[in-house]
């Protein structure tokens, strides 16, 4: 079954591979074509420069740059709309947090902040006996009466579902949002079909007293 899924993913992504191959072949063609036309111009016309030849060179190079730039954006800079059902399939998994006890107050999550010019934060929590540490770019903490943190608004969580989980887990859980690219030709162009688009952790705690700041 895994083999079939992997083969299906590759079958769509081969579209992007073929486009990149075509661009590389076009680059080779341009180099050879420019060289041949220049040699022909020197031998037959006894010229080293002509405006028509220069114009053709420019057109060929512009077409190459446009194609390569478009594919670069599709492959490396893709930023899909997470609510686009044509490209993205998503799911949310809810897991209860495990309280950590020890010196000081008990806590559900520990924040470690790097106090530098380009600062960063990591959140550490426990779920089902396993330790998880995640950067603040892909996680946020919600506490108090608000189940959805401001930073997590960029993720399409369902607020009604979060409210249900508040009651079920007494506001102590992590909502793991996972988005994957669908296996179709649109995602195959950028070679993303079947791959992970993003994963986000919304860490829910009852109030700020359950958050430990690492010194």
Same domain, 39 and 131: no
Instruction: Please check whether residues 72 and 106 belong to one and the same domain.
Output: no
- Residue 3's pLDDT band, with cuts at 50, 70 and 90, is very low
Looking at the fold, whether 13 and 102 belong to one and the same domain comes out as no
Residue ranges in 77-158 assigned as alpha helix (H): none
Domain assignment present for residue 202? The answer is yes
Q: What is the mean pLDDT of the chain?
A: 91
The whole-number average pLDDT for the span 63-81 is: 97
Whether the pLDDT of residue 208 is over 60: the answer is yes
Q: Is the pLDDT of residue 5 over 90?
A: no
Residue 147's domain comprises: 88-213
Q: How many domains does the chain have?
A: 2
Write down which residue in 76, 102, 123 finishes a domain: 76
How far apart (Å, rounded) are the C-alpha atoms in residues 197 and 24? 27
Does 83 reside within a domain? no
Q: Which of 69, 12, 17, 9 is nearest to 196 (CA)?
A: 9
Q: 188, 204 in Cβ contact below 8 A?
A: no
pLDDT at 41: 87
Q: Give the Cα separation of 77 and 163 in Å (integer).
A: 35
pLDDT higher for 141 or 3? 141
Residue 119 lies in a domain: yes
Question: Does 81 fall in a domain?
Answer: no
Judgement on whether residues 99 and 180 belong to the same structural domain of the protein: yes
Residues 209 and 124 reside in one and the same domain: yes
Q: Which long-range contacts (CB under 8 A, 24 or more apart) does 62-70 make?
A: 63/26, 64/23, 64/26, 64/27, 64/30, 67/23, 67/26, 68/23
Tokens found for residue 140: 């946020």
Could you give the percent of the chain with pLDDT greater than 70? 94
């Amino acid at each position: 079954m895994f083999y079939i899924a992997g083969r299906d993913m590759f079958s769509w992504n081969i579209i992007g591979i073929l486009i990149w191959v075509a661009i590389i072949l076009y680059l080779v063609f341009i180099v050879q074509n420019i060289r041949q036309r220049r040699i022909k111009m020197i031998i037959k016309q006894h010229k080293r420069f002509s405006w028509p030849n220069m114009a053709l060179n420019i057109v060929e190079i512009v077409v190459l740059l446009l194609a390569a730039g478009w594919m670069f954006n599709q492959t490396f800079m893709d930023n899909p709309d997470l609510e686009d059902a044509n490209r993205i399939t998503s799911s949310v998994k809810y897991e209860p947090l495990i309280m950590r006890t020890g010196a000081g107050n008990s806590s559900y999550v520990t924040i470690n902040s790097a106090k530098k010019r380009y600062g960063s934060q990591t959140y550490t929590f426990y779920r089902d006996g396993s330790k998880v540490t995640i950067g603040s770019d892909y996680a946020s903490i919600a506490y108090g009466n608000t189940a959805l943190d401001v930073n997590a608004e960029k993720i399409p969580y369902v607020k009604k579902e979060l409210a249900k989980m508040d009651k079920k887990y007494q506001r102590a859980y992590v909502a793991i949002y996972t988005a994957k690219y669908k296996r179709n030709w649109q995602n195959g162009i950028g070679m993303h079909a079947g791959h992970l688009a993003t994963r986000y952790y919304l860490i829910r705690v009852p109030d700020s007293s359950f958050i430990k700041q690492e010194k």
